[in-house]
Amino acid sequence: MEDKRDMDIIKNMRTIEWLKSELLSSVAYLYETLAKGEDDTKDNLKDVVSNILLTTLLLSRRLGLDYEEVLSSLEDNIKINIIEQHKIEKWYGDLSELLEFVRSK
């Protein structure tokens, strides 16, 4: 029984490392896409940003966090940044819009 548990731990560690690599690759691709500034940039950005979100959520799960915990923490962080008048909120109101979006889901 010990061997199965050890194998599960090793598999989880490898998965975490793979997801970290995927996240870094996606962030690098984001920079590359922004640097190129081609005609299809919006579609590429949509794909790469959604992939970053997906990978981040999967990584959080492998690290022992529930999706609900992560989303709750996200909501808390948004609220704190609104209260502290983050520049993005002051300039564009993006955090209030994001909070509304998160609450609607």
What is the model's pLDDT at position 26? 97
Q: Are residues 35 and 6 in the same domain?
A: yes
- Do residues 49 and 39 both lie within one domain? yes
- Whether 23 and 61 map to the same domain: the answer is yes
Q: Which residues form the domain of 97?
A: 66-105
Q: 57: buried, middle or exposed (CB in 10 Å: 19+, 13-18, 0-12)?
A: middle
Shared domain for 44 and 59, answered yes or no, is yes
- Based on the domain organization, do 72 and 96 belong to the same domain? yes
pLDDT tens, residue by residue, 7-55 = 889 999 999 999 999 999 999 999 998 998 877 788 889 999 999 999 9
Overall domain count for the chain: 2
